[in-house]
Amino acid sequence: MENKIVQPVITAESLTKKFGHFTATDAITFQVKKGEIFGFLGANGAGKTTAIRMLCGLLMPTSGNASVAGFDVFTQTEEIKKNIGYMSQKFSLYEDLTVKENIRFYGGIYGLSNSGLKEKTEILLSKLKLKNEARHLVKSLPLGWKQKLAFSVALIHEPAIVFLDEPTGGVDPITRRQFWEMIYEAAYCGTTVFVTTHYMDEAEYCDRVSIMVSGKIAVMGTPDALKKGFSVKTMNEVFLKLAR
Q: Binding residues for another protein, per CB under 8 A?
A: 1, 42-46, 142-144, 166, 169-175, 177, 180-181, 184-185, 187-188, 198-201, 204-205, 223-224, 234-236, 239-240, 243-244
Minimum distance, C-beta of residue 184 to another protein, in the bound complex (Å):
4
Residue closer to another protein, measured from CB, 116 or 170: 170
Residue closer to another protein, measured from CB, 105 or 199: 199
Residue closer to another protein, measured from CB, 44 or 132: 44
Residue closer to another protein, measured from CB, 108 or 170: 170
Minimum distance, C-beta of residue 134 to another protein, in the bound complex (Å):
19
Minimum distance, C-beta of residue 112 to another protein, in the bound complex (Å):
27
Minimum distance, C-beta of residue 95 to another protein, in the bound complex (Å):
14
Question: What angle (nearest 5°) sits at the alpha carbon of residue 162, between those of residues 115 and 82?
Answer: 55
